[in-house]
Amino acid sequence: MVKTDFGYNSKVEGEVIVTRADAVVNWVRSHSVWPMPMGLACCAIELMAAGGSRFDISRFGMEVMRFSPRQADCMIVAGTVTYKMAEVVRRIYDQMAEPKWVVAMGACASSGGMYRSYATLQGVDNIVPVDIYISGCPPRPEALLDGMMLLQEKIRREGGSLRRTFKGRVVETKVVS
Amino acid sequence: MDAAALSSRFSALRDLAGKDMPTYETAGPDLLAVVKFLRDEQGFDLLADLCGVEWKDRTPRFGVVIHLLSTASKEYVRLHVPAVDDRVPSVSSLHPGANWHEREAYDMFGIRFDGHPDLRRILMWDAYPHHPLRKDFPLAGIEVPLPAADVAAITGQTVEPAPMMGGPFVSQGGRMSEGEPDALDQSWTEERPKS
């Protein structure tokens, strides 16, 4: 499990928590992931199931599915990415505000899956950086939840959370006092 | 359906003695008249399917197969149309449902449909240079640029042949695989690089 970064003793510190900025920012970010459902095939059905009451993705703070890339920070690529669709996927990824993450859900998004053919991109990591790969064809909602919780772990371990980035590069580091 | 009326009206029609439904081969120039006759006078009012076919060793190499259904008598009729010079008249003026089927046959085989209102590719993107369902097209594909130049510039990605890894895993014996030798692996794998 995650190492706690809080050093808090109410008798010593009163109402002050001492911690690292990364820990606070990453804690907030990891519990308010706003996914963008990039539903391209049958994986999207499992993705919808994960959002329903039976599997209930909101238990982990990720239920705010946004269909606009500008309001989302995690693209879940759920399905087969064809070469014709690849440019759309990349363009939507470019429109998402940073920091942003990509989850390749299922065999097709991860590697092209069973589609070894002229029409199918052999893995969405050829066009966008992928953080989490989820196996399955399609993965069950539990597998998606597991992958999304792994993504939360990954977010919690990120450094430099106060840096501002654009297109993956740091543009300025500013600490407001 | 009234086979006698059809063959007396169109003497060039060739009966292919279909086992499941009446099947005729009709030359391209007669096609519209035949389909119109079947629709207006024989009740074949629904175009159930229209697809391209490649006959590997025949001339002309391509053909179009049309299935018509009579919703009144629940009968089917099948028409074979050889595509001379890869061209076939479009039946979308008689059956609007043929529009997208003809675009698909054009996209996959390169059959031109004369008189089609909007003959663009329907599955592949407009600038794609090949016709993927032709028998000389490898299943893995042929390397071409991505449809979007800006995305290709950012990612450095092209439309590349898919790694087959010894597949596709078709049956090695029997008549079907003999008839489809082109289905065997023609592409690179991780062990055997692209030539």
- ipTM rounded to 2 decimals: 0.77
Q: Which residues of B touch A83 (CB under 8 A)?
A: 125, 146-147, 159
Find the helix packing angle between A141-156 and A43-51, rounded to 10°.
Answer: 70
CB B31 within 8 A of CB B89: yes
Minimal C-alpha gap between B112 and chain A (Å): 22
Rounded CA-CA distance B99/B92 in Å is 5
Query: Is-cis flag, bond preceding B168, omega within 30?
Result: yes
CB atoms within 10 A of CB B166: 10
Sign of CA dihedral B129, B132, B137, B142: positive
Residues A71, A34: Cα–Cα separation, whole Å? 8
Model pTM? 0.81
CB atoms near residue B50 (< 10 Å): 26
**Distance to chain A for B127, nearest Cα, Å:** 11
CB contact under 8 A, B162 and A83: no
Spatial CA neighbour of A31 closest among A11, A2, A71, A60: A60
Question: Of B162, B146, B164, which Cα lies nearest the Cα of B154?
Answer: B146
Average pLDDT, chain B: 86
Higher pLDDT, B188 or A135: A135
Mean pLDDT along residues B74-84: 94
Distance CA B167, CA B189 (A): 10
Contact call for B139 and A119, based on CB within 8 A:
no
Residue ranges per structural domain of chain B: 3-114, 138-195
Which tokens belong to A108? 């097709």
Of B9, B15, B90, nearest to B42 (Cα)? Answer: B9
Right CATH for A16-172 from 3.40.50.12280, 3.90.226.10, 3.30.420.40, 3.40.50.920: 3.40.50.12280
Q: Where are the domains positioned within chain A?
A: 16-172
Question: How many alpha carbons lie under 13 Å from residue A4 in its C-beta half-sphere?
Answer: 5
d(CA B111, CA B131) in angstroms, rounded, equals 9
Q: Which CATH superfamily is domain B3-114 in?
A: NADH:ubiquinone oxidoreductase Nqo5 subunit (3.30.460.80)
CB B23 within 8 A of CB B15: yes
CA distance A28 to chain B (A): 31
Residue spans of alpha helices (H) in B20-70? 28-40
Task: Please state, in angstroms and rounded to a whole number, the distance separating the CA atoms of residues B83 and B31.
Answer: 11
Q: Among B159, B164, B186, which would you mutate to test the A interface (most chain A Cβ atoms within 10 Å of its Cβ)? A: B159
Residue A155: Cβ-neighbour burial (10 angstroms; 0-12, 13-18, 19+): buried
**CA A79/CA A68 separation, integer angstroms:** 18
* Sequential pLDDT tens for chain A (177 residues): 455 555 666 676 677 777 888 888 999 999 999 999 999 999 999 999 999 999 999 998 888 999 999 999 999 999 999 999 999 999 999 999 888 999 999 999 999 988 888 999 999 999 999 999 999 999 999 999 999 999 999 999 888 777 777 666 777 655 555
Separation between Cα atoms, residue B147 and residue B141, nearest integer Å? 15
Across the interface, do A118 and B163 touch by the CB < 8 Å criterion?
no
Query: B113: which 2 tokens?
Result: 């449909």
For the sheet containing B75-82, what is the strand order?
Answer: B14-15, B23-25, B75-82, B62-70, B46-54
- The per-residue pLDDT for range B9-67, each reduced to its tens digit, is 888 889 998 889 999 999 988 899 999 999 999 999 999 999 999 988 888 999 999 99
Return the pLDDT at B120.
94
